[in-house]
Amino acid sequence: MAIPERNLALELVRGTEAAAMAAGRWMGRGDKNEADGAAVTAMRYMLNTIAMDGTVVIGEGEKDEAPMLFNGERLGSGVSPEVDIAVDPIDGTRLTAMGLPGAISVVALSEKGTMYDPRNIFYMNKLATGPDAAGVIDIEAPIEENIKRVAKKKAKSVGDVTVVVLDRPRHDEIKSRIRQIGARIKLIPDGDVAGALLTCKEEGGADLLVGIGGSPEAVITACAIKCLGGNMQCKLWVRDEKEAEESRAMGLDLDAVLTLDDLVKGDNVFFAATGVTDGDFLKGVRYEGRRIRTFSMVMRSKSGTVRYVEAIHHPKKLCTISGIDYAPEYEANHQ
């Protein structure tokens, strides 16, 4: 009988829970840097307790001038297995700071050397869908064609198709084209990882995600979609000619279509996410005085298992056994 392998996703979720609990206290307080800093510190602490030899391939990165969880940082206790790690302590930092829905904390892991490194490219053009239409999308085809294909595959009319689009001026043209063909649009202010995952969720209310978003988020999303059986295609998107020249000098092909297997190779991918603020995909953190309640999902591509985890945490106890202050005001209020 084969011995079941260790499901690292069940350990990763401790990192997303920690990040969500730390960041959630900053919901609506208008300071996205404080929210992000709290999430980064908490996630890093927990990931360093895991028995693994991890390297951050997709981290906070140069764009965020991150002091921790930066690209190339080593995480874990330093023992086998060797793994690539992708983190986004808050996908939706602004959403958290403004008290808006849809922010989540995410981390993904795969075998060493299997995650795509976008290097200097901060953005990608993305097309994603769930399992039911995984085989019919084509990022090089017009959006109208992709909508028709998805509609046919799902046995619904074009007017029933819902497309998730980041609310950015750069997407004005594609929004117009989606409207002209008669499909529906779900605009999201930020957080396209959660937006893409909606296309894979039963009764999630979305069929496609399209548009230009962060390249780190694209790799993280690919890890999740591989676990869920959907599909994703991307193309690198440069902001100006200088970035294009730098990319070509590095040997990057700006015209290449990056498939799901280009973004994350193999089929031993682990993913965990915890809600920070309430969203369509996961509920946000609940602070209940002596308890904190979190809502998470953990997935593994090799087994296809998806778990939804509702956890109850006792902040006073957690503070005594970890380096994270989960209850900064608890002691003052309960003397």
CATH number for the domain spanning 27: value is 3.30.540.10
pLDDT recorded at residue 205: 84
Q: How confident is the model at residue 65 (pLDDT cuts 50, 70, 90)?
A: low
pLDDT recorded at residue 329: 60
Is pLDDT at 84 greater than 80 in this prediction? yes
Q: How confident is the model at residue 101 (pLDDT cuts 50, 70, 90)?
A: very high
Q: Is there a single domain that holds both residue 133 and residue 242? A: yes
Q: Is there a single domain that holds both residue 284 and residue 208? A: no
Q: Report the domain count for the chain.
A: 2
> What percentage of the chain has pLDDT greater than the value 90?
78
Residue 324 domain flag: no
Question: What CA–CA distance (Å, rounded) separates 320 from 186?
Answer: 43
SS3 per-residue string spanning the chain:
CCCCCCCCHHHHHHHHHHHHHHHHCCCCCCCHHHHHHHHHHHHHHHHCCCCCEEEEEECCHHHHCCCCCCCCCEECCCCCCEEEEEEEEEECHHHHHHCCCCCEEEEEEEECCCECCCCCCCEEEEEEECHHHCCCCCCCCCHHHHHHHHHHHCCCCHHHCEEEEECCHHHHHHHHHHHHHCCEEEEECCCHHHHHHHCCCCCCCCCEEEEEEEHHHHHHHHHHHHHHCCEEEEEEECCCHHHHHHHHHCCCCCCCCECHHHHECCCCCEEEEEECCCCCCCCCCEECCCCEEEEEEEEECCCCCEEEEEEEECHHHHHHHCCCCCCCCHHHHCC
Residue (of 5, 59, 10, 2) closest to 268 by Cα position: 5
Q: Is there a single domain that holds both residue 144 and residue 243? A: yes
Question: What CA–CA distance (Å, rounded) separates 121 from 125?
Answer: 11
Residue 334 domain flag: no
Cα 267–Cα 107–Cα 233 angle in degrees, nearest 5? 55
pLDDT recorded at residue 201: 87
Q: Is there a single domain that holds both residue 110 and residue 129? A: no
The one-letter amino acid code at 168 reads R
pLDDT recorded at residue 61: 59
Q: Is there a single domain that holds both residue 282 and residue 181? A: no
Q: Is there a single domain that holds both residue 129 and residue 231? A: yes
pLDDT recorded at residue 332: 45
pLDDT in tens, 153-189: 999 999 999 999 999 999 999 999 999 999 999 999 9
Which pTM does this prediction carry? 0.92
Residue 213 domain flag: yes
Is pLDDT at 4 greater than 70 in this prediction? no
Task: Tell me which of 227, 244, 263 is where a domain ends.
Answer: 263
Q: Is there a single domain that holds both residue 106 and residue 136? A: no
Annotated binding-site members for substrate: 91-93, 123, 168-170, 190-192, 214
Residue 288 domain flag: yes
Residue 326 domain flag: no
Residue 12 domain flag: yes
Residue 251 domain flag: yes
Annotated binding-site members: 36, 60, 88, 91-93, 123, 168-170, 190-192, 214, 217
Domain at 221, CATH number: 3.40.190.90
Task: Tell me which of 246, 263, 280 is where a domain ends.
Answer: 263
Sheet holding 231-237, edge to edge: 184-188, 162-166, 208-214, 123-129, 231-237
The one-letter amino acid code at 170 reads R
Q: How confident is the model at residue 328 (pLDDT cuts 50, 70, 90)?
A: low
pLDDT in tens, 255-308: 999 999 999 998 899 999 999 999 998 999 999 989 999 999 999 999 999 999
Domain of residue 246: give its range: 123-263
Residue 328 domain flag: no
Residue (of 253, 243, 310, 255) closest to 62 by Cα position: 243
Question: What CA–CA distance (Å, rounded) separates 55 from 63?
Answer: 18
> What percentage of the chain has pLDDT greater than the value 70?
94
Is pLDDT at 320 greater than 90 in this prediction? no
pLDDT in tens, 28-44: 999 999 999 999 999 99
Q: Is there a single domain that holds both residue 195 and residue 312? A: no
Q: Is there a single domain that holds both residue 288 and residue 198? A: no
Is pLDDT at 331 greater than 50 in this prediction? no
Q: Is there a single domain that holds both residue 88 and residue 178? A: no
Q: How confident is the model at residue 334 (pLDDT cuts 50, 70, 90)?
A: very low
Question: What CA–CA distance (Å, rounded) separates 302 from 288?
Answer: 36
Q: Are 72 and 56 in contact (CB under 8 A)?
A: yes
Q: Is there a single domain that holds both residue 61 and residue 190? A: no
pLDDT recorded at residue 184: 98
Annotated binding-site members for Mn(2+): 36, 60, 88, 91, 217
Q: Is there a single domain that holds both residue 257 and residue 139? A: yes
